[in-house]
Amino acid sequence: MVTYKVMEGIKKYRFGEPISTDAVLFEGDKIKDESLPFFILQYVDTFEIKYKMDNGDQIFGLGENQRGINKRGGVFESYCCDDAFHIPDKKSLYGAHNFLIVNGINKFGVFIDYPGRVVFDVGFTHKDYLEIKIDDKDLDIYIIKGSTLREITNKFLQLIGKSYVPPKWAFGFQQCRWSYKDAKEVEAVAENFIKHDIPCDSIYLDIDYMEDFKDFTISKERFPNLKSFAEKMKNKGFRLIPIIDAGVKIEKGYDIYEEGIDKGYFCIDKDGNPFVAAVWPGKVHFPDFLNKDARKWFGSKYKLLTDLGIEGFWNDMNEPAIFYTDRGLKEAINFVEDSKDQNLNIYSFFKLKDSFMELSNNTKDYKSFYHNMDGKLINHDKVHNLYGYNMTRAAAEGFKEIEANKRFLIFSRASYIGMHRYGGIWTGDNHSWWEHILLNIKMMPSLNMCGFLYSGADTAGFQGDANSQLAIRWTQFSLFTPLFRNHSTMGVRKQEPYAFDIESTQVLRNTIKLRYALLPYIYGEYMKAARRNDVYFAPLLFEYDDRYSKHVENQLLVGESLMIAPIYEENAQGRYVWIPEEMLLWKVKSYNERSFKVMDEGHHFIEVGIDETPIFIRKNKMLIIGNHANNVADIDNSEINIIAFIDDEATYTYYDDDGISYEFNNGIYWEVIIGIKKIDDDYEINIENKGNNLVKRINFDIVDLYGNITKKTVVISE
Ligand code: GLC
């Protein structure tokens, strides 16, 4: 073991010769130190960590996973997986996020930088032990020390580097469906948004826009002129966001296939031939995204679509998902043949059934292909979790070449720690289940702790039929998630915000308009989190240390001023909320209406009508509200509103920038620093305008602890 001091409070313990994942930005200096906070057991080929948890220890982090914000009691496996049934005992979803924080008398973060399979048994097998099993003996372990959860998180986020920042329009509402199959249908969706006066910034193109599911092709029949269509749609206020899949169809004459073969850019099997698996188009090869030349090549292909006016993409099936391989199919078919005319019993019948179920995403297949990493041949299984990461990195590096100072929208399904620098993620194929709203709520802070700020779930659920109530309640939560997208699979009930009844459309319209009005807050808080290595969503115990806040799993802090308590149960007329200090409750029906209630510290049942989104403004904090428009670019926020809940004084920094370039990295952004101080029965307002030439007028609703409202307006001089 070699120990490095990487940063203040962060040590790296290196075992053997780990494969470089590029998850971490800093190398560190070698030091003499063997002070790991847990036992390690090194076997010939594997590695195990054991930590005895105290009764009160909580375990946070682990990003995209099932179960609670506190992960204690579960077992989780980092091995990116295309599994569309996110039921509670599923161990792996699409991401591999090996960072956790132990919160007890001892507080520390642990990052296992190993890109193959890692199992986190968090008191599942042995209730008092955290046991981490790694399928290898070469790895880096980082230990992050700090006195609070936020401090540990901030340090970890600093270690792995600053978050991806999407364009501001990608904070607008987005509509998807597998698939809006042709230009006519896409246009009809856009017209429906316009007709129903529902804001929306983008419409997605799922796999049917392609010719036979071939990456970087466009169906001539369904989208005869994508360039002019994209332009027409943009003029109506909608960007088109096409999907890109990992597998490249094997087809003579298809240029991407031919080039990949010529240049040797595909993953290979043990005989050195391009590895064959089947996904949407049938047989495909997988680009070797771990080979930097192949990555560059694939990344450059996005230009084929950006040249047509496309400004955003979603990368999919990049675990990589495998439907079947010849090996698997042959074994399954042999098994069927052997079963012919047999009297199948309890064992043989289920074995027969499973032989087909096990065709997809099979570890045997993942073990049977190889990457070329800097000239070294590496078995895929050892680096499985880097695949989606590097596909998205390919895109991001491609965009740099295409137009370095322009922000593109990019997010991925599979991911590993570090990918957050290149793009966001969505949480994959959930269901229109109430349980999945709650899962979405719990997952967001865990993802943020692992660096993934730009994320969100398929709002209203991907699979299964949504009713209007579920679509509304989910939208009322998702309006706070940076990625705010409604998506559903083929064959299920339509769930666009206008797809239900008139009343529900009205509620969804108001809810989505609320999102647009809150953009100054949501975007500003996102940018602050990204620039300060901080989280945007946090569990309550990041800020409150009382005994209840420690365990709240269904309320979140959003940015610095808000707490939310979403409704996630069918037919609920309200819910219980833990309020850790006085807060101002605003049940928003329409963002222009104001009606507040001061809530005292304690447990409360709050009634929440189907048309209400409850927002809690924290004490001595401000919520900034702009205006809506039908897309982000059209919003006029020269006059903004602030709701402030003031005991004595508060300061809030309203952040904004051009929303399209990376100039904020060069110090080009605007800040309005707003100070409010209670003096006797009045308030003194101070505004410091740093480079802001946009806000002309701020209207204040200042509410005190007794619920008295003072209205003020400040006109900002040039
Ligand atoms: C995968 C994706 C889903 C997409 C579908 C078709 O299941 O997760 O979002 O709609 O593929 O491309």
Helix 255-263, helix 292-301: angle, nearest 10: 160
Q: What is the mean pLDDT of residues 411-418?
A: 98
pLDDT of 645 over the 70 cut:
yes
Q: How many CA atoms lie within 13 A of 177 on its CB side?
A: 18
For ligand 1, atom 5, name the residue with the nearest CA: 178
The string of pLDDT tens digits covering residues 526-551 is 999 999 999 999 999 999 999 999 99
CA of 429 relative to ligand 1 center, distance in Å: 7
pLDDT of 39 over the 90 cut:
no
- Location of structure tokens 């469906």: 177
Confidence of residue 518 (pLDDT cuts 50, 70, 90): very high
Share of the chain above pLDDT 70, in %: 100
Q: How far apart are CA 533 and CA 153, in angstroms?
A: 8
What does the CA dihedral 135, 137, 142, 147 come to, rounded to 10 degrees?
Answer: 70
Mean pLDDT of the chain: 97
Q: How far apart are CA 547 and CA 129, in angstroms?
A: 23
Give the model's pLDDT for residue 385: 98
Nearest-atom index, ligand 1, CA of 84: 7
pLDDT of 42 over the 90 cut:
no
Query: Which uninterrupted H or E stretch holds 356?
Result: helix 346-357
Query: Which uninterrupted H or E stretch holds 485?
Result: strand 484-486
CA of 178 relative to ligand 1 center, distance in Å: 7
Give the model's pLDDT for residue 648: 97
Q: Name the nearest CA neighbour of 567 among 391, 397, 440.
A: 440
Q: What is the mean pLDDT of residues 103-111?
A: 96
DSSP codes, 298-351: HHHHTHHHHTTT--EEEEESTTT--SB-HHHHHHHHHHHHHHTT----HHHHHH
**Residue 283 backbone phi and psi in degrees, to 5:** -65, 135
Indicate if ligand 1 lies below 6 Å from the C-beta of 482: no
The string of pLDDT tens digits covering residues 311-353 is 999 999 999 999 999 999 999 999 999 999 999 999 999 999 9
The string of pLDDT tens digits covering residues 436-472 is 999 999 999 999 999 999 999 999 999 999 999 999 9
Indicate if ligand 1 lies below 6 Å from the C-beta of 206: yes
The string of pLDDT tens digits covering residues 138-164 is 999 999 999 999 999 999 999 999 999
Q: Which of 203, 429, 483 to mutate to test the pocket of ligand 1 (most atoms within 8 A of CB)?
A: 429
Give the model's pLDDT for residue 35: 85
Question: Do the beta carbons of residue 109 and residue 100 sit within 8 Å?
Answer: yes
- Location of structure tokens 């955290």: 130
For ligand 1, atom 4, name the residue with the nearest CA: 178
Indicate if ligand 1 lies below 6 Å from the C-beta of 611: no
Give the model's pLDDT for residue 552: 98
Give the model's pLDDT for residue 636: 97
Q: How far apart are CA 205 and CA 343, in angstroms?
A: 48
What separation, in Å, do the N-terminal and C-terminal C-alpha atoms of the chain show?
61
pLDDT of 717 over the 80 cut:
no
Confidence of residue 221 (pLDDT cuts 50, 70, 90): very high
The string of pLDDT tens digits covering residues 252-306 is 999 999 999 999 999 999 999 999 999 999 999 999 999 999 999 999 999 999 9
Indicate if ligand 1 lies below 6 Å from the C-beta of 243: yes
The string of pLDDT tens digits covering residues 488-514 is 999 999 999 999 999 999 999 999 999
Indicate if ligand 1 lies below 6 Å from the C-beta of 213: no
Nearest-atom index, ligand 1, CA of 413: 8
DSSP code at position 215: T
Distances in Å between the Cα of 645 and the Cα atoms of 235, 708, 710 are 40, 10, 11
Q: What is the mean pLDDT of residues 73-84?
A: 97
360-390 burial, b at 16+ Cβ within 10 Å, e below that, comes to bbbeebbebbbbbbeeeebebbbbbbbbbbb
For ligand 1, atom 10, name the residue with the nearest CA: 178
CA of 166 relative to ligand 1 center, distance in Å: 21
Question: Do the beta carbons of residue 77 and residue 93 sit within 8 Å?
Answer: no
CA of 241 relative to ligand 1 center, distance in Å: 13
CA of 131 relative to ligand 1 center, distance in Å: 34
pLDDT of 644 over the 80 cut:
yes
298 token code pair: 């694939």
Nearest-atom index, ligand 1, CA of 245: 12
Give the model's pLDDT for residue 600: 98
DSSP code at position 465: P
Give the rounded distance of the alpha carbon of 461 from its chain centre.
Answer: 15
Indicate if ligand 1 lies below 6 Å from the C-beta of 428: yes
Give the model's pLDDT for residue 443: 98
For the question of whether the overall pTM of this predicted structure is more than 0.85, the answer is yes
Confidence of residue 44 (pLDDT cuts 50, 70, 90): confident
Indicate if ligand 1 lies below 6 Å from the C-beta of 380: no
Indicate if ligand 1 lies below 6 Å from the C-beta of 207: yes
Indicate if ligand 1 lies below 6 Å from the C-beta of 245: no
Confidence of residue 41 (pLDDT cuts 50, 70, 90): confident
Neighbouring residues of 567: CB distance < 8 A, sequence distance ≥ 6: 473, 476, 574, 575, 608
Q: Which of 214, 243, 322 to mutate to test the pocket of ligand 1 (most atoms within 8 A of CB)?
A: 243
5 token code pair: 């001091």
Give the model's pLDDT for residue 718: 65
Nearest-atom index, ligand 1, CA of 243: 12
The string of pLDDT tens digits covering residues 681-714 is 899 999 999 887 789 999 999 999 999 999 999 9
CA of 586 relative to ligand 1 center, distance in Å: 37
ω into 348 cis (within 30 of 0): no
Question: Do the beta carbons of residue 447 and residue 63 sit within 8 Å?
Answer: yes
